[in-house]
Amino acid sequence: MFLSALELRNIIESSFLPKRCQCTLSPDLSMTVKVYSDRQTNHLDLMVTGINAKQLNGCREINDLIAGLRSDMHQQTIAQTLHTDRKAL
């Protein structure tokens, strides 16, 4: 990992603004990312654990991680919308 834990957290957390994002890094460099719906509630839009931060060696890897997390969050939103629509029927 070429960035400090603080720099990496800042990049990832700020990439989800205006949503609230919490990125935690364990001593073994396993990362957990939580993205919340807004700044007032604790409703999770996404939680991913076990991300290997050792593999985040450059801008491309960090960008790919963020893009993947955004894609996962979008897919979850679509799935929740479909589930809610089916309940309404």
Residue-wise pLDDT for 28-55, tens only, equals: 999 999 999 877 878 899 999 999 999 9
CB 75 within 8 A of CB 46: no
Calculate what percentage of the chain has a pLDDT beyond 90: 63
Query: What does the pLDDT read at residue 88?
Result: 53
- The C-alpha angle with vertex 47 and arms to 83 and 72, in degrees rounded to 5, equals 60
Give helix then strand counts, H and E, for the chain: 2, 3
What string of DSSP letters covers 42-76? --EEEEEEEEEGGG--SHHHHHHHHHHHHHHHHHH
pLDDT at residue 57 tops 90: no
pTM (2 d.p.): 0.83
